[in-house]
Structure 1
Amino acid sequence: MESGTPSERITAELRRRITTGELKPGARVPSTRRIMQEWGVAMATATKVLNRLREDGLVRAVPGVGTVVAAGPGGSAVPTSAAGGAVAAGRAAGAAGTTGAAGAAGARRGRGGERELGRERIVAAAVGVADREGLAALSMRRVATELGVATMSLYRHVPGKDELLRLMMDRVFGEHPLPAERASDWRAGLEEVSRLQWRIYRLHPWLASTMSFTRPVLAPDAALHTERAMGALVGVGLTGEEVAQAAVTLAAFTCGLAVHFEREAQAEQDSGMSADEWMDRLDDEDHDRLMADPERFPMFDALNRGPEIDMSLEALFEFGLARMLDGVGALIAARGSGTADG
């Protein structure tokens, strides 16, 4: 039985046709209308398929022609229409003549890089791109450029971007293993797991936005964190459901706050200012006008008149983690006294 959504299945089939050479560089790929007719899907699904192939660098749009397979290794293919094929071929030959030995050397480097290519090298390059440029910059094409190989060569090792993200997630969690020796009590155990997750998210700001607590991916090294957190709660009087919910809720809190690492990194890149510098640049008069009505904003008015408070991500994490653990402790105490709701 086929798995995945309709768009994923169609994308995989067209990707197969491209990577096996059934659809050669420069050949037209099925249009959205053709995809709708061949697979019986809606226009939105067909559009999503072509967008994903374009994002992965497998196809590109050519005015007056349509969507065609992107150039393969060496970049020698030139998409052509039936009427202009001879002219385009002549231009390609001329370009090859002008590059001469340099072009041949580039092709040899590309083939050499592909011979050395492997899943670990691809994943490491992808993590580097995401760390430096953010998740929005990550694509199969961008990773191929980083490695100096043809985009399609990546698909022999990684089937697509979704799988690449799963492998990236597992890699970064695996690089920061949990301590071999377990903590002495449940609170220390949960705190240990949460602080390690927070550190991983801070090192890799893109990571938190890839996590899902409703549709989790199969990343064993990440799952070990949930396993350890649940293990810390064994024998404290909670039900199995409560143990699982406490572990996942704590992880969701840490991840939800850590999402702001990437947002802040992007904002700093766009503005050229850190969060503290940005706050310092705020116009005090505009700020005072906004909060000038103490009857409407009595709490803000009181805070503005008091000492400065720390609202950094680190401070919010420390406060939130302590209160989350306090809540788990209260539940454990209630279970022990027999007063918790059933």
Structure 2
Amino acid sequence: MSVTEAGASAGRGRPPILSEQAIVEAALSHLTQRHPLMDLSMAQVARDLSVSATALYRYFPTRDQLLRALSDRIFAEFVYPDLALPWVEQLRVWQDSLAMLFERCPSLTRLMGWGEEIAPAWFKIQMPPLRVMHDQGLRGTDLVEISTWFLSGTVGLLRTHMIADSELQRPSHLIAFETSLPLLTPEERALVDETLPFIALGDSDRIVREGLDALVDRVVKRVAALA
């Protein structure tokens, strides 16, 4: 049953009506509209809903419970690869599906786990690459190492890309390097001077695409080596 907040100011229309779904959607909006490195604030979510923070805790007694609900909500949009596709293509589709979620929610890594807990929804999504590699003959340490490398590499590359593209993140070519230059050797400073003019010309999308392809290619090589 919905709960009406009696503390809303009079004369501003009907008071806001709370529900678990309304809180989750407001929190998701909070994450999608802010810098990827910014944390989720219960107080900010409450302000967005024009209610007190106490009202949120009636539905989510702890912040972790809200994070889990958010994780379930956003990862429900993940599109799983078609099992009829060739196995290499399944890995690429999996990467593309995760990239779409990062586009939807740049703070996605905050919904993959918190504290010592891995989010159940994210754990489930890791299964397709693990299954693909297992089907191709990877076992034991080989399976653990290559799957960990593939998963962490994909997440890290996408996360870095989203941070770089954030409107709140200064473009690399505008960042002041002066405070770091004294730590460099003359040769290193010359290398920086040579590189700086080209930073703004780099194609971020191409960097990500080639990086993701390189991760898949490494899996292919490991499978071929074991065969």
TM norm. shorter chain > 0.5: yes
Give the deviation of 1:74 after TM superposition: 2.0
Give the deviation of 1:209 after TM superposition: 4.5
Superposed CA offset, 1:88-118 (max 9, x none): xxxxxxxxxxxxxxx4455x833xx3xx422
Q: Which residue of 2 aligns with 1:74?
A: 7
Structure 1 residues 123 and 326: CA distance shift in structure 2, 3 A: same
Structure 1 residues 148 and 318: CA distance shift in structure 2, 3 A: same
Which amino acid is 2:134 matched to?
A: V
SS at match of 1:74: coil
Give the deviation of 1:282 after TM superposition: 8.0
CA distance in 1 between counterparts of 2:217 and 2:114 reads 22
* Residue from 190, 198, 214 that aligns with 2:99: 198
Superposed CA offset, 1:44-65 (max 9, x none): xxxxxxxxxxxxxxxxxxxxxx
CA distance in 2 between counterparts of 1:261 and 1:312 reads 11
Greater relative CO, 1 or 2 (CA 8 Å, sep 6+): 2
Which amino acid is 2:69 matched to?
A: L
Give the deviation of 1:218 after TM superposition: 2.9
SS at match of 1:177: coil
Q: Which residue of 2 aligns with 1:235?
A: 135
Structure 1 residues 117 and 242: CA distance shift in structure 2, 3 A: farther
The range that moved more, 321-330 or 238-247, is 238-247
SS at match of 2:126: helix
SS at match of 1:138: coil
Q: Which residue of 2 aligns with 1:168?
A: 70
2:19 maps to 1:118: yes
Structure 1 residues 219 and 176: CA distance shift in structure 2, 3 A: same
Which amino acid is 1:152 matched to?
A: T
How many pairs does the alignment contain?
A: 218
Q: Which residue of 2 aligns with 1:253?
A: 153
User: Where does the alignment leave 5 or more consecutive residues of structure 2 unmatched?
Assistant: none
User: Where does the alignment leave 5 or more consecutive residues of structure 1 unmatched?
Assistant: 1-71, 76-102, 337-342
Which amino acid is 1:319 matched to?
A: E
Structure 1 residues 317 and 299: CA distance shift in structure 2, 3 A: farther
Give the deviation of 1:310 after TM superposition: 6.2
CA distance in 1 between counterparts of 2:199 and 2:30 reads 37
2:119 maps to 1:218: yes
CA distance in 2 between counterparts of 1:213 and 1:319 reads 30
CA distance in 2 between counterparts of 1:164 and 1:119 reads 9
Structure 1 residues 120 and 242: CA distance shift in structure 2, 3 A: farther
In terms of Rg, which structure is larger? 1
TM (norm. structure 2) is: 0.74
Q: Which residue of 2 aligns with 1:128?
A: 29
Superposed CA offset, 1:64-99 (max 9, x none): xxxxxxxx9528xxxxxxxxxxxxxxxxxxxxxxxx
CA distance in 1 between counterparts of 2:46 and 2:32 reads 16
Give the deviation of 1:124 after TM superposition: 0.8
* Residue from 60, 80, 87 that aligns with 1:158: 60
CA distance in 2 between counterparts of 1:309 and 1:142 reads 34
Q: Which residue of 1 aligns with 2:48?
A: 146
CA distance in 2 between counterparts of 1:264 and 1:323 reads 20
CA distance in 2 between counterparts of 1:311 and 1:151 reads 44
Q: Which residue of 2 aligns with 1:326?
A: 217
2:79 maps to 1:177: yes
Q: Which residue of 1 aligns with 2:168?
A: 269
Given that 2:20 and 2:59 are in contact with CA atoms closer than 8 Å, whether structure 1 keeps it comes out as: yes
Give the deviation of 1:299 after TM superposition: 9.4
Structure 1 residues 199 and 104: CA distance shift in structure 2, 3 A: closer
RMSD between superposed Cα atoms in Å: 3.9
Which amino acid is 1:109 matched to?
A: R
